[in-house]
């Protein structure tokens, strides 16, 4: 303060003019220049003419030359105090600085204002200085930098040009975001305010948490900005770890310091977005009874609106999609159903194809509309529609419903086949089949199984119900069959912990109940499971508007009609698949079967064909089945036709993207294959009457 009082006492203010409000740009500067710019933690510009810009000079007690610059506007007041080394005058060159007065080998530099100051050392470059005959400074051009705080240009009556810019955001605080999720972007705009053009260059993100941030749009690199021109950069956060995230956006330029910087902050938190929450099968729609919709058949080219959110343990908000088992019965003609989000147009996709008089079901994953509803469209005739809800995928970036489960795919494993020795023959009517799997150390983390269940050669019409095997089976069906048919259906089934025998205690178990009056063979194949989000990396669901991505009738997807024992390689386009996508949540339909029985198998390109099938077709039958279809390199997948000529249609309602961020404390994301998660098939247990 003694030094400041000395400075103020020596000279009266030298008028340099009005001050442009910081953040605003007036007319282009004209030499000689009077300017004070502040960058870094602040972004301010003082220039123009008027009494609010003053400079004073004096000599300190130690013989240092002193310059005090004071700039003010209606909103801001900043000052710079610069002292030379003791006994010396200002001279061109670059010098290290310390706060306060100059010392041997260093200049003194203080920049302060608006109640703030910098405590760091720095650098000053005096570009030119001129004096009158009495030795008083008549013009001054310099650049200053207080490390980690502020930097800028100072010109007083100087013809030396300068390059600098303002930015409308001196830091970007991005929203707290779940691990692996991308936040909304925020934008910073730079404005050229120098006598020379500002030329932004390469853009980088630096710092310990740099990998948790990304650039959404870069409108600056390579631009040449004349005075008053602007460019913008947008940045988002995509947290890789839980906790505070700190980084810096840095853009090289041709200014004295050589860059612009913007500190970035965010916070990474646990999230259940994209995770699955299994529910016990619960009937939410039955047009025969007036459940969930008006009583009466759904007519031709009509849609019913089904409320799903806030029904049967589905939360009222935060749900992206639901898994339903949809059944048709009593159709008056051949037709198909399409399930789609309420509020959108009927898509070119189907979920369930049927003929007159047919009863059957299919697993349907369908995104919810904004009002928590889904629509179900019937293309022709009239039909009764039944729907059981099996679970939901979360859209909210939180864990208010718990952690939910990630999908853990693996090679297909046959868990049960009552045609094989040891299974006791076909499952009698009114009995259920316990199906037990063993994932060894992962058993406590399994919450639901992704299985393909097939009824083979039933003695009469009936249905199978898959559930967790505890207590009585629910009033819901998984698949419907007629005598002698081979009928598959895909299902995601919640598990219970086996208590049938000491040898299976703690192992995941489901039950398959035969609701017919006669026996049928049952085959159960498993393709993966949903965990509790505590075992490390997995797959998370991303919903899509139901979309047709392959139709061999029109060569959509890259292939035509499949002949006997032939394989088609198809490509999943964006947005059905992106770089992180592991599998499609799809509906596969066999059409125009050439008259003989056949089956279809879908699997990832580049891998051997699995022995299990996704879909069995009787002669001339049109039949769909849901599937999780894994993708190979280039987002390609194969479809094999085992019998007569057939066309294949593939519709998608979502995708599974790889999620390498473990939620378990201390767990490490290895990013490797999930094939080691495949279970051991357990020996059959005796049938237990329902």
pLDDT of 674 reads 44
Distance CA 286, CA 288 (A): 5
pLDDT of 25 reads 52
DSSP labels, 511-571: EEEE-SSS-BEEEEEEEEEE--S-SS-EEEEEEEEEEEEEETTTTBTS---B-TTEEEEEE
pLDDT of 611 reads 87
Please calculate the CA angle 655-327-583 and round it to the nearest 5 degrees.
Answer: 15
Residue 306 has, within 13 A of its CA and on its CB side, a CA count of 35
pLDDT of 12 reads 32
pLDDT of 595 reads 81
| Cis? peptide before 549, omega within 30° of 0 | no
Distance CA 46, CA 16 (A): 11
What is the rounded average pLDDT for all residues in the chain?
90
How far, in whole angstroms, is CA 174 from its chain's centroid?
15
Torsion of CA 123, 124, 125, 127, to 10 degrees: 170
Instruction: Determine contact, residues 654/587, Cβ cutoff 8 Å.
Output: no
Distance CA 646, CA 72 (A): 81
For the chain, residues with pLDDT lower than 70 are: 1-26, 48-51, 662-676, 683, 686-690
Instruction: With CA atoms as reference, report the closest residue to 583 among 489, 653, 676, 524.
Output: 653
pLDDT of 21 reads 36
DSSP code, position 4: H
DSSP code, position 461: S
pTM: 0.83
Tokens of 457: 């050669």
pLDDT of 686 reads 61
pLDDT of 28 reads 81
Pairing of strands 259-269, 177-178: parallel
pLDDT of 187 reads 98
Instruction: With CA atoms as reference, report the closest residue to 232 among 164, 185, 290.
Output: 185
Query: Phi then psi for 394, rounded to 5 degrees?
Result: -90, 140
Q: Radius of gyration over alpha carbons of the chain, in Å?
A: 36
pLDDT of 662 reads 61
């Amino acid at each position: 303060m003694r030094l400041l009082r000395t400075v103020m006492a020596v000279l009266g203010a030298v008028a340099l003019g009005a001050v442009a409000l910081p953040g605003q740009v007036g007319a282009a500067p004209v030499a000689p220049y009077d300017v004070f710019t502040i960058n870094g933690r602040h972004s301010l510009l003082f220039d123009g003419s008027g009494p609010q810009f003053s400079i004073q000079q004096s000599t300190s007690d130690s013989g240092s030359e002193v310059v005090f610059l004071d700039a003010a506007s209606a909103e801001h007041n900043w000052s710079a105090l610069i002292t030379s080394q003791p006994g010396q005058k200002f001279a061109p060159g670059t010098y290290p600085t310390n706060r306060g007065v100059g010392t041997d080998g260093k200049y003194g530099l203080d920049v302060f204002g608006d109640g703030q100051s910098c405590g760091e050392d720095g650098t000053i470059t005096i570009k030119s200085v001129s004096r009158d005959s009495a030795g008083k400074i008549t013009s001054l051009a310099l650049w200053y930098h207080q490390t980690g705080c502020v930097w800028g240009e100072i010109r007083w009556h100087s013809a030396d040009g300068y390059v600098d810019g303002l930015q409308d955001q001196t830091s970007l605080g991005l929203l707290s975001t779940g691990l692996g999720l991308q936040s909304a972007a925020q934008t910073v705009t730079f404005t050229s305010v120098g006598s020379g053009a500002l030329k932004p260059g390469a853009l980088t993100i630096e710092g310990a948490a740099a990998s948790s941030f990304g650039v959404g749009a870069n409108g600056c690199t390579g631009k040449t900005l004349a005075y008053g021109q602007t460019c913008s950069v947008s940045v988002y956060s995509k947290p890789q770890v839980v906790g505070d995230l700190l980084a810096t956006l840095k853009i090289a330029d041709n200014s004295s310091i050589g860059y612009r910087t913007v500190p970035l902050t965010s916070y990474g938190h646990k999230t259940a977005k994209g995770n699955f929450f299994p529910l016990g099968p619960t009937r939410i729609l039955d047009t025969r009874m007036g459940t969930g919709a008006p009583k009466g058949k759904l007519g031709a080219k009509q849609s019913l609106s089904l409320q799903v959110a806030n029904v049967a343990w589905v939360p009222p908000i935060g749900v992206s999609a639901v898994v339903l088992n949809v059944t048709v019965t009593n159709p008056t003609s051949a037709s198909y159903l399409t399930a789609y989000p309420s509020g959108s147009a009927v898509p070119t996709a189907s979920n369930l194809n049927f003929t007159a008089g047919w009863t059957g079901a299919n697993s349907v994953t369908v995104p919810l509309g904004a009002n928590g509803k889904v629509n179900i469209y019937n293309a022709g005739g009239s039909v009764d529609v039944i729907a059981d809800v099996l679970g939901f995928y979360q859209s909210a970036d939180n864990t208010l419903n718990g952690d939910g489960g990630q999908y853990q795919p693996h090679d297909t494993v046959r868990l049960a086949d009552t045609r094989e020795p040891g299974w006791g023959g076909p499952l009698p009517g009114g009995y259920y089949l316990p199906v037990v799997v063993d994932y060894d150390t992962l058993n406590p983390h399994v919450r639901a199984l992704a299985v393909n269940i097939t009824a083979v050669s039933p003695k009469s019409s009936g249905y199978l119900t898959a559930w967790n095997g505890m207590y009585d089976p629910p009033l819901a069906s998984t698949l419907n069959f007629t005598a002698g048919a081979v009928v598959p259906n895909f299902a995601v089934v919640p598990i219970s912990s086996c208590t049938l025998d000491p040898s299976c205690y703690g192992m995941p178990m489901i039950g398959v109940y035969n609701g017919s009056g006669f026996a049928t063979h049952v085959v159960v194949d498993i393709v993966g499971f949903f965990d509790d989000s505590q075992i490390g990396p997995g797959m998370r669901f991303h919903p899509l508007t139901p979309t047709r991505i392959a139709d061999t009738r029109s060569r959509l997807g890259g292939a035509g009609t499949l002949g006997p024992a032939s394989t088609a390689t198809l490509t999943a386009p964006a947005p059905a698949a992106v770089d992180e996508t592991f599998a499609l949540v799809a509906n596969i339909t066999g059409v125009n079967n050439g008259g003989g029985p056949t089956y279809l198998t879908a699997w990832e390109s580049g891998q051997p064909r699995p022995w299990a099938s996704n879909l069995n077709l009787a002669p001339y039958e049109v039949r769909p089945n849901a599937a999780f279809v894994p993708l190979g390199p280039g987002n390609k997948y194969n479809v094999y036709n085992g019998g007569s000529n057939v066309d294949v249609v593939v519709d998608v309602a979502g995708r599974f993207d790889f999620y390498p961020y473990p939620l378990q404390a201390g767990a490490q994301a290895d990013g490797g294959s999930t094939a080691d998660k495949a279970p051991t098939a357990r020996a059959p247990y005796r049938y237990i009457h329902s």
